[in-house]
Structure 1
């Protein structure tokens, strides 16, 4: 009953706003089908955006679901250069960055798996030309030569290649045509940035066309400053990326074949976290960390063993500056191929979509965010001999080598006959082979091994190890699914839809954790995989799950350009295995599936001769068995069931062509989240047993909004000037499920951007001056867990960037 009442409130609100706006514009003049002025004759009419989110071409205003789409020009104006930039362009979308620029997690409406390991399927499915990516590590790719981007909010379970509980982001590249044309864009910017992007395509034969495109990105300076006088480098964050794509399109009488070969590399320096100490001089959590963000004047990185050790603190007030002792290195590579075949039958289009991708992620980073500390005083305090090697001891350095080979195959039939019934049905298969080797180096480990204390049994675990812990795993995933969706015109202006999907997921996982001595030899396993004394070095486990997801919906055209819609859908995401280093068998225990039952009601209105588009959506989620990472009562982080949750909210978005020259786009959202039926084995910020009941989801601001203005006008007979200004607002939010004051980012943020473009009247050339995050807003994207660990490491967003684009277009 509570669910029904909540949704009824959202329904009433949505309908009230929609009807009021429609009536205020004069339904007799705006919404009547017999309009005296056709859209084509209206100079203020908005561009018609065609999307393929339902596997068939439709106007975006005719799609009965919550969807945002960006055209090629909008992507440039908003400064969207990679997948995660979407977070600054759409309300209710957040970025949870567990690895700076290396492991990006997209959260939609508060739903996002905050797991920093790379082997788990993301809640937001990212696709390139409908081919899904299996790991968050793969989402840092460069965007170039795109036709558009489509973002669907809410569970997606019936039409896309992989189930997702948060939503789908689909990047659609420009395809070959028979028109010979291309472009080259050169960019120079701050941090000694130089980028080069281009594409060229056209007809090779009467039936064969091609398109080749590329993008190179580089910067000679980094935005992060290293203040450590003993380090060999003084800045970090340099960019070094390259990507290329070649597409061939063959067109026959009833068949088209599109081949896509793509490759790329990313050798950019991994971003380093800011270290925030949380321990006072008395060895207990400092006072400011107990009530909010830690004050570096009283909070230290490490306060082991009481007041005898003061520790280290970062007091310069610059979140892009720190003292680091380990220079980060990245060497990422990816190669792939996709083949799409469309064949027209008498009653349907048969589509085969094959994707083969290899992605190799290799990173080394200073994970603790602070330079070496002097451990001699600690050793002396507890009666151990002074060891000079502890004078500049590192806290935690990470090495990670992750590789994934993925294969996806989809077959589908899409109806093409006229009539009231439209349908689509298909089969999806995916296999993934993931291999990972990670190492964690810390001189603290060597010190712990010498301590005359048991540490709850963990002292024996790390005894005789050196300063490196290692973890290797291999995971094989196989997924099978059959799906179908039916849309039926029940009446002249009313449609109903029903979709379902049956999915089977099989996962096999084996891992090994061990210590190394100073010579690099394995000396001990970190966890007892067997109680019978056998020296088993690997732990193997498997998981088989199956699920039926579904959706039902209805849409109705009140008038020609005013549609209301509603639906109920169930999203599903399979369980898996934690990919982080284990110290006990419980740390690698499998976690179960999560599901979302989503209710959504919306309105889509086109008014004022198609010069205004306005969308309103209300939603309510019954989120069951939510997966997430949190600190246990024992003080270790685990990936498992967090609890259930309720998520509800209201979203508004629109575009208004105010004049022939001026267009306004806007969006706003409110969000309310609450965890219930929490897991019990939870530690609060101080390590005390607690639960998450009544807490908010992480990375779920209660209010968010975005807006942009674009003014374009002729400044002479041969020149056009375009000025675009955009802003994104987010209210305060929590970075962890415990909602501890130390995890509360208690400031709202306003990120501003702008682009000023001068071009010739034929758009043959253009020069654009742009700036992003102009006011240098600072927003945390990730925070490690628990005050009980004596410090946080925090990743922040990138500071302001600016530059000039020079573009030349050529061809027919």
Structure 2
């Protein structure tokens, strides 16, 4: 038998993944071809995206991009879930949080950041209505009344904001319209008295003015019984509301102004940490685990208020179009408190000491301004250029408590000032009708000033204030070639940059600074319309290398976090998106990705967990060597699919819609341990409904996580086998209407 090295196995695995995904193309094509020969199916609508800051056919864009919109987006959020519901719904995207409905962390192609520090930065940037949401607290704004969600994979450092080396998740609200009064309403009720109500109204105010008001209300009862009755009797509920008002001014003569104000308020339980729920030596839940019960003697709650406003102006000057985007985002209040030891003095299991923590934000004020000009040439050359400014002022704090007595044991408050500016430009040149080249360049200067404001019962090690600054020029170059009217191929080389990050001190760790990280990525792909536009497919392969990647070291024997840099991280993989009509009333979609990541730095080691079974080498200092490990929260495989079948019934249509998402196993932390390796996760949804009056009204029964899958999706690297689990199964009914 031939023995293969670990690297050979990984290379073969990567190539196998490419072949497997490629094999899906002729299978899908053959399936659709066989069906359309017997029954004509309609054409797919043209999909447009703004991945290059212009509205373009998704097939023409030389970037691996997915779009969620319309029914597919409405269905996955029908159960009232927060933004984490996007995890696995498109290739290469994962979203998780150890803070519940707040502070989501995004990963694209396995590349993200597990940092739970108040001032954390992430390599995946979230853009909402053209305004970057930098602080992770801002990234959790609820999903409602959206035109679509674009996921742009790979470095996007030329045209978008800042800190985008892994990619961008881009949200775009539905806009006011001048032509007619209208809107929608949507209401559902489900298990645990989960109530989700949202709606919007569009009001033309005159020939030049229109307004659109959107609102969301979500509620879930506390349904997890706390068997330790001295504290919260029940947990895991929430109350969420958000509003957005947009006003459009369009007087003609080439000028357009869009004003947007929005706010969010949420209260409820923070993440429920459960002590010793992992069976020693495995990643299985312990025998007799009951997700509806917990024993916590600490307080558990969170409350958040955010608000924002932006103004988007555009002037059509004939040969060019000028844009101004002014944004403000703020956090008025944030406090999340939880019993991180996961239990009470009597258990479950061994709990060495009692502690609960609270993290909070006194305020965040973020201002951004972009001016951009783009050409409107009819010839082969088109371009855009601009300048960007960003300013953030943030105050955050962390507290520790003795959960037995309730007494506060420490308090640490910190302040960060972050300013950045950039100049950017890109050029498109069409050498022919078939071949187009795009190139972009961006120069960024970023500066952070960080200091400790107050420390109670925290003996700070090292300086009380630090500064970090960096500047970088990034570029990208891509080419698109039309093989024929239906098939495009493209190739892209791009670089990205993330500015230095700072993590607050603790009793045992000083303020830590992670140096800037950079990425170089190579990508190639094909995008095609199939079977006379009854189906479409996009397939890409990529390879990237991150230098000096910022990583978060969490705990060991205490729940603290510090920042380090890894010399290199390698990533490679493939992605597939497919959708099409099998028949005129049967539509399917499928997606998949293979993402291989590997940390390459023989000098890096981290403290090991106290109770788990480490599978990595241990060095002479008793620390875990992480060289060769995958990145945390980076599943190698993500698969997803949907199917919708409809039939005429009476004056309307009855339909069945199902959606499924799979991700393979993940590491929770930088080291590998049997207990802290999350098992593969499959979650599915089912919806049976009836629409009538040309789709104006819909009533449906639905289920989310219909198989009732229970998985450990994250852990606390502290002093026992503490973890937290995925969302429960949900059954509900829903009514939607348009007017």
The answer to whether the superposition gives a TM-score over 0.5 is yes
Q: CA-to-partner distance for each residue in 1:190-231, whole Å, 9 max, x for gaps?
A: 111223211111311111111111111112x22433122x33
CA contact (8 A) 1:7 1:599 kept: no
Q: 1:803 to 1:199 in 2, by over 3 A?
A: same
Question: What is the match of residue 194 of structure 2?
Answer: 193
Q: Give unmatched runs, 5+ long, in structure 1.
A: 31-36, 279-287, 297-314, 379-390, 447-465, 516-523, 531-538
**5+ unaligned residues in a row in structure 2: which ranges?**
1-6, 611-620
Distance 1:792 1:639, change over 3 A: farther
CA contact (8 A) 1:322 1:369 kept: no
Task: Name the counterpart of 1:723.
Answer: 656
Q: Does 1:654 align with 2:578?
A: yes
1:261 aligns with 2:261: yes
Q: Which of 246, 271, 283 does residue 293 from structure 1 map onto?
A: 283
Assess, with a 3 A threshold, how the Cα gap between structure 1 residues 444 and 367 changes in structure 2: closer, same or farther: closer
Q: Pick the aligned partner of 1:423 from 383, 394, 401.
A: 383
User: Which secondary structure state, in structure 1, belongs to the residue aligned with residue 85 of structure 2?
Assistant: helix
Aligned residue in 1 for 2:729:
800
Distance 1:364 1:57, change over 3 A: closer
User: C-alpha distance in 1, partners of 2:289/2:556?
Assistant: 32
CA distance in 2, matches of 1:11, 1:416: 42
CA contact (8 A) 2:512 2:562 kept: no
Distance 1:93 1:563 in 2: 24
Query: Which residue of 710, 715, 723 corresponds with 2:644?
Result: 710
Give 2:435's match in structure 1, choosing from 491, 494, 498: 494
Q: In structure 1, how many angstroms separate the alpha carbons of the residues matched to 2:553 and 2:70?
A: 39
Structure (1 or 2) with the greater strand fraction: 2
Residue in 2 that maps onto 1:508: 449
8 Å Cα contact 1:213-1:245 kept in structure 2 = yes
Alignment of 1:306-455 (within 5 A): 316-373=288-345, 394-442=354-402
Structure 1's consecutive aligned runs of 4 or more residues displaced over 4 angstroms after TM superposition are 6-26, 443-446, 631-636
Are 1:774 and 2:703 matched, yes or no? no
* CA positional deviation for 1:612: 1.1
Could you say if the C-alpha distance between residues 414 and 12 of structure 1 is closer, same or farther in structure 2, counting changes exceeding 3 Å? Answer: farther
1: CA distance, partners of 2:657 / 2:23? 31
Q: Give distance in 2, aligned partners of 1:70 and 1:775.
A: 24
Is 789-798 or 239-248 further displaced after alignment?
Answer: 789-798
* Residue 237 (structure 1) aligns with: 236
The corresponding residue for 1:285 is: none
1:449 alignment counterpart? none
Matched-pair contact (CA < 8 Å) for 1:277–1:790: no
Rounded Cα–Cα distance in structure 2 between residues aligned with 1:661 and 1:529: 66
Change (3 A) 1:780 1:628: farther
Structure 1 Cα separation of the partners of residues 217 and 648 of structure 2: 32
566 and 678 in structure 1: CA distance in 2 versus 1, 3 angstrom threshold? same
Post-superposition CA distance 1:392-411 (Å, at most 9, x none): 98432325334211111111
| 1:694 and 2:618 correspond | no
CA RMSD in angstroms, aligned pairs only: 3.2
Give the equivalent residue in structure 1 for 2:89: 89
> For 2:60 and 2:152, how far apart are their aligned partners in 1?
14
SS of structure 2 residue aligned to 1:267:
strand
Residues 736, 232 of structure 1: alpha-carbon distance in 2 compared, 3 angstrom cutoff: closer
Contact 1:97 1:781 in 2 (8 A): no
Deviations, residues 588-630 of structure 1 (Å, cap 9, x unaligned): 1211011111111111111101011111110111111111212
The aligned residue for residue 299 of structure 1 is none
Q: Which residue of the partner structure matches residue 143 of structure 1?
A: 143
Q: What is the rounded CA distance, in whole Å, between the counterparts of 2:15 and 2:385 in structure 1?
A: 31
User: Aligned to 1:554, which of 479, 485, 497?
Assistant: 479
Shift of the alpha carbon at 1:132? 0.8
Displacement of 1:247 after TM fit? 0.8
Find the partner of 1:577 among 483, 486, 502. Answer: 502
Residue 437 of structure 1 and its aligned partner are, at CA, apart by: 2.0
Per the alignment, residue 672 of structure 1 pairs with 596
Shift of 1:49: 1.4
Rounded Cα–Cα distance in structure 1 between residues aligned with 2:151 and 2:268 = 27
Match of 2:575, SS state, is strand
- 1:346-387 per-residue CA deviation (whole Å, 9 max, x = no partner) reads 211100001111113422422325343169xx9xxxxxxxxx
Alignment partners' CA distance in 1, 2:357 and 2:523: 45
Contact kept in structure 2, 1:527 and 1:582, CA below 8 Å: yes
Q: Distance in 2 between matches of 1:569 and 1:11?
A: 22
With over 3 angstroms needed to count, the CA separation of the structure-2 counterparts of 1:434 and 1:740, relative to structure 1, is same
**SS of match in other structure, 2:502:** coil
Aligned to 2:511: 588
User: C-alpha separation between the residues in 2 aligned to 1:555 and 1:15?
Assistant: 23
What is the CA deviation profile of residues 18-38 of structure 1, one whole-angstrom value per residue up to 9, with x for unaligned ones? 699579969xx99xxxxxx9x
3-state SS of 1:697 partner: coil
Residue matched to 1:545 = 470
1:43 deviation in Å?
4.3
Please report how far the alpha carbon of residue 442 of structure 1 lies from its aligned counterpart in structure 2 after TM superposition. Answer: 2.4
Match of 2:715 among 783, 786, 793: 783
Distance 1:505 1:331, change over 3 A: same
> Partner residue of 1:521?
none
Q: How many pairs align?
A: 711
Separation (CA, whole Å) in 1 of partners of 2:95 and 2:437: 35
Distance, in Å, in 1 between the alignment partners of 2:130 and 2:470 is: 24
Q: Which structure has the larger Rg over C-alpha atoms?
A: 1
Cα distance in 1, alignment partners of residues 86 and 369 from structure 2:
27
From the superposition, tell whether residues 78 and 24 of structure 1 become closer, same or farther in structure 2 (CA, over 3 Å).
closer
Distance 1:723 1:397, change over 3 A: same
Using a 3 Å threshold, how does the CA distance of structure 1 residues 20 and 666 change in structure 2: closer, same or farther?
closer
Measure, in 2, the Cα distance between the counterparts of 1:364 and 1:19: 47
- Structure 1's 749 and 511: CA in aligned 2 closer, same or farther, altered over 3 A? same
2:683 to 740, 746, 751: 751
Please state how far the C-alpha of 1:737 moved relative to its aligned partner: 1.3
1:618 aligns with one of 536, 541, 545: 541
Change (3 A) 1:743 1:255: same
Offset from partner CA, 1:151-193 (integer Å, 9 cap, x none):
1111110111223122111111111112111122121111112
Change (3 A) 1:392 1:743: closer
